[in-house]
Amino acid sequence: MVFIAPSILNADFARLAEEAAKVAAADWLHLDVMDGHFVPNLTVGPMVAGSLVRAQRLPVEAHLMVWEPEKMIPWFIEAGCRRIIVHAESTPHLHRAVTTVKAAGVDVGVALNPGTPVYVLEHLLEEIDLALVMTVDPGFGAQALVPATLPKITRVRRLIDERNPACHLEVDGGINAETIKSVVEAGADTLVIGNAIYAAPDPGAMLDQLKALAEGRV
């Protein structure tokens, strides 16, 4: 089984409830939180996260692309996000950030930018619910997948299988009908997909098609 988490980054922000309803058959909803410093773009905060949690039925995961996420983690937990993903590059206190999320009974993920080595997961792997291998440099939707991230996915898969098989391996960025099989074959089990879904004339049908491709049914 492959899980799909549509990213609403390329959806219409003035109609988030309607946009979310188009992907109601997905497994998660992926909310990209950008602070204009850690990444060169600015999106939404905990108030919009809370509205989105209440406006639809999918569990929401918050992908925090912000410096020092520790102070914002409680805000997104309070907003009702069911998974919080922090970037390894965004804080010197990554372990503290992870344990803060876990202490609240919320799932935690750690994200690695394309240039960040896999070994930063070394001392955390047993404590996390998800490792996110960024397949683009974060900040924008609709970018091309960085090919060097494919062997990286496979290395993280091996580490997860050895040390914490329950941990999910998520990928984010540049996933579309052309690239989807390569990331699944490399070892991903959870796929964030933004532009490929929301630029399609029928996002719900595209979601079904991508899921069938990912699961090898077509």
Interacting residue ranges for ligand DX5, rule: CB under 6 A: 7, 9-10, 30, 32, 63, 136, 138-143, 172-175, 192-196
Strand-strand pairing, 3-6 and 130-134: unpaired
Task: Tell me the one-letter amino acid at 178.
Answer: E
Residue with tokens 């077509």: 218
Min dist. Cβ of residue 141 to Zn ion (A): 9
Nearest residue to Zn ion, by Cβ distance, number only: 63
Q: Cα separations (Å) of 162 from 71, 125, 133, 171?
A: 32, 10, 17, 19
Q: Which two tokens mark 139?
A: 């900040």
Min dist. Cβ of residue 191 to Zn ion (A): 11
Positions 50 through 109 that interact with Zn ion (CB under 5 A): 63
Min dist. Cβ of residue 204 to ligand DX5 (A): 16
Contact (Cβ atoms closer than 8 angstroms) between residue 137 and residue 114: yes
What is the spatial distance between Cα 46 and Cα 106, in angstroms, rounded to a whole number? 15
The site for Zn ion, by CB under 5 A, has a size of: 3
| Among 19, 61, 170, 172, interactor with Zn ion by CB under 5 A | 172
Site string for Zn ion, 109-138 (x = CB under 5 A): ------------------------------
Nearest residue to ligand DX5, by Cβ distance, number only: 194
Region of 14-22, 74-82, 119-127, 166-174 interacting with Zn ion (CB under 5 A):
166-174
Min dist. Cβ of residue 62 to ligand DX5 (A): 11
- The nearer residue to ligand DX5, 9 or 160, going by C-beta atoms, is 9
DSSP state of 76: H
Active site residues: 32, 172
What is the spatial distance between Cα 189 and Cα 163, in angstroms, rounded to a whole number? 16
Q: Cα separations (Å) of 21 from 15, 80, 216?
A: 10, 18, 25
| Among 32, 35, 61, 170, interactor with Zn ion by CB under 5 A | 32
Per CB under 5 A, does 189 bind Zn ion? Answer: no
Contact (Cβ atoms closer than 8 angstroms) between residue 67 and residue 100: no
Q: How many Cβ atoms are within 10 Å of 58's Cβ, its own excluded? A: 20
Min dist. Cβ of residue 69 to ligand DX5 (A): 14
Tell me which residue of 203, 199, 194, 200 sits closest to 18, measured CA to CA.
Answer: 203
Where along the sequence are the contacts to Zn ion (CB under 5 A)? 32, 63, 172
